[in-house]
């Protein structure tokens, strides 16, 4: 049961073909972007009525028609969850907390000249909405990744939006994670309509300053549509991974890593970037051997057939260059001296070095954040972090001495640009004796 995965020889591709392979968008379907924009506009205009209307069409709302999950239901969810799973979530929360605590921003003060003081001051956001995928899936890990750094940052109000299951209830495991982290509210809503409600507010949902968290193409499109009304972390769309391999790698381990992120959904993209045809053949053979044993074999097979590729390079330098150009969300490195190779690829959301570092470890337990840039945006964005939950401002203070020192520079540049009122605002101060 080996899926048909597109295979390419890197040496035979022209530069424009490589650019075509590595250029993509967080929302590749323009019709989804248009439809999601229309949904969030409807929620902005009609509030709860639109939220319920789209929830009835697309799913994700509670059976009783309410939007906020009862706080007693959240509190009681912990008793409905296997104690071993609760312990695992507590362990994950502890590690995520330890890693993100080191990211607390520090204010700075710089004095570039006598009488000139520039402060850079960081302030946590007043409110944040963490989107947690759900419905037919189960992602308490995403709730942890969104809420823990917000807690460390000192965000005033933290709410969670997650779609209900087809039976009209929110999974108790997700609610238990919310209870462990003492979030302020859980809203049973999903998709573009949930993002619209968080951004614009409704009768039942108070708007937030920023929306974070991963989601499918509809959520990603909606986040792009509301940007401006609310902040967003990054357009974290369908999961994707690159696996960089040379002949030193274990084909069985590589095959497992190739299939790992493809399990997320049929739209997930995976690139196996291999030095040499023989190694590529061995990994593809292992995929065919292991795939039938996996519970989500159909989903993985479809993802690999529709969005997977095997890119064969003549040498490690070419393979590394392609990985850097593709700028994956996840990058696994299975090569000689994998640590050095990993540092040669700056364009990746999260990098997993060597035989003993599966992507699953980062998804759940290492403490690193798994909300990562997709669609090639790892060229410009990094993982979700504490700094995403606040904002910086500059505070500038000058004495007369400081302004006198700067006056020639200010007035000459202002006059050159034709902004004489700028120059006047400086000179009028210096004419006074105060």
Output phi, psi for 76, to 5 deg: -75, -15
List 240, 267, 286, 329, catalytic entry: 329
d(CA 163, CA 215): 11
For residue 87, give both structure tokens.
């312990």
Burial pattern 381-408, b for ≥16 Cβ within 10 A else e, equals: bbbbbbebbbeeeeeeebeeebeebbee
Gap between the Cα atoms of 212 and 61, Å rounded: 20
Instruction: Extract the tokens encoding 383.
Output: 């993982």
330 is annotated as an active-site residue: yes
How far is it, in rounded angstroms, from Cα 333 to Cα 352?
Answer: 6
The rounded distance, in Å, linking the Cα atoms of 17 and 261 is 25
Catalytic residue among 58, 330, 334, 370: 330
Q: Are strands 6-9 and 330-334 parallel, antiparallel or unpaired?
A: unpaired
Asked if 370 is an active-site residue, the reply is no
User: What distance in Å separates the CA atoms of residue 31 and residue 308, rounded to the nearest whole number?
Assistant: 23
Buried b (16+ CB within 10 A) or exposed e, 36-47: bbebbebbbeeb
**Token digits of residue 277:** 């045809």
Residue 191 pairs in a beta bridge with: none
Of the candidates 68, 36, 70, which has an alpha carbon nearest to the alpha carbon of residue 203? 68
Start-end of H helices in 240-343: 251-262, 277-290, 297-307, 316-326, 338-343
Residue 219 token pair? 């959520």
User: With DSSP H G I counted as helix, E B as strand and the rest as coil, what are the percentages for the chain, rounded to 5?
Assistant: 50, 20, 35
* CB-side neighbour CA atoms (13 Å) of 133: 21
Please compute, for residue 340, the number of CA atoms within 13 A of its CA located in the half-sphere on the CB side: 5
Helices 316-326 and 15-22, packing angle to 10 deg: 50
Residue 14 CB: number of other CB atoms within 10 A? Answer: 8
For residue 236, which of 329, 303, 300 has the smallest C-alpha distance? 329
For the annotated catalytic residues, the residue numbers are 329-330
């Amino acid at each position: 049961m080996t899926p048909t995965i597109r295979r390419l020889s890197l040496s035979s591709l022209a530069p424009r073909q490589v650019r075509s392979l590595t250029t993509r968008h967080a929302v590749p379907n323009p019709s989804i972007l248009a439809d999601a924009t229309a949904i969030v506009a409807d929620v902005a205009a009609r509030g709860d009525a639109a939220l319920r209307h789209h929830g009835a069409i697309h799913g994700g709302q509670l059976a009783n028609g309410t939007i906020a999950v009862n706080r007693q239901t959240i509190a009681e969810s912990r008793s409905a969850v296997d104690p071993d799973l609760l312990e695992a979530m507590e362990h994950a929360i502890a590690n995520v907390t330890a890693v993100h605590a080191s990211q607390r921003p520090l204010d700075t003060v710089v004095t570039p000249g006598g009488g000139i003081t520039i402060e850079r001051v960081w302030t946590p956001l007043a409110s944040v909405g963490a989107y947690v995928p759900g419905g037919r899936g189960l992602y308490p890990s995403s709730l942890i990744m969104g809420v823990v750094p917000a807690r460390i940052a000192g965000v005033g109000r933290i709410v969670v939006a997650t779609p209900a299951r087809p039976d009209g209830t929110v999974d108790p495991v997700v609610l238990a994670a919310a209870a462990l982290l003492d979030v302020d509210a859980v809203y049973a809503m999903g998709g573009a309509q949930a993002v619209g409600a968080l951004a614009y507010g409704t009768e039942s949902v108070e708007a937030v300053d920023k929306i974070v968290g991963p989601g499918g193409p509809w959520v990603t499109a909606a986040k792009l549509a509301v940007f401006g009304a609310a902040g967003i972390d990054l357009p974290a769309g369908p999961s994707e991974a690159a696996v960089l391999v040379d002949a030193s790698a274990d084909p069985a381990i590589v095959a497992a890593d190739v299939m790992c992120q493809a399990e997320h959904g049929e739209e997930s993209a995976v690139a196996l970037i291999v030095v040499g045809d023989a190694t590529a053949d061995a990994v593809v053979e292992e995929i065919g051997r292991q795939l039938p044993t996996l519970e989500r074999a159909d989903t993985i097979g479809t993802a690999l057939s529709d969005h997977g590729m095997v890119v064969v390079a003549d040498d490690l330098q070419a393979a590394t260059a392609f990985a850097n150009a593709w700028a994956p969300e996840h990058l696994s490195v299975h090569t000689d001296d994998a640590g050095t190779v990993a540092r040669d690829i700056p364009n990746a959301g999260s990098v997993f070095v060597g035989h003993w570092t599966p992507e699953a470890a980062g998804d759940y337990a290492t403490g690193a954040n798994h909300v990562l840039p997709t669609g090639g945006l790892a060229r410009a964005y990094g993982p979700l972090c504490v700094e995403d939950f606040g904002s910086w401002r500059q505070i500038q203070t000058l004495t007369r001495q400081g302004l006198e020192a700067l006056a020639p520079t200010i007035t000459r540049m202002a006059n050159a640009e034709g902004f004489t009122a700028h120059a006047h605002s400086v000179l009028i101060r210096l004419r006074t004796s105060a």
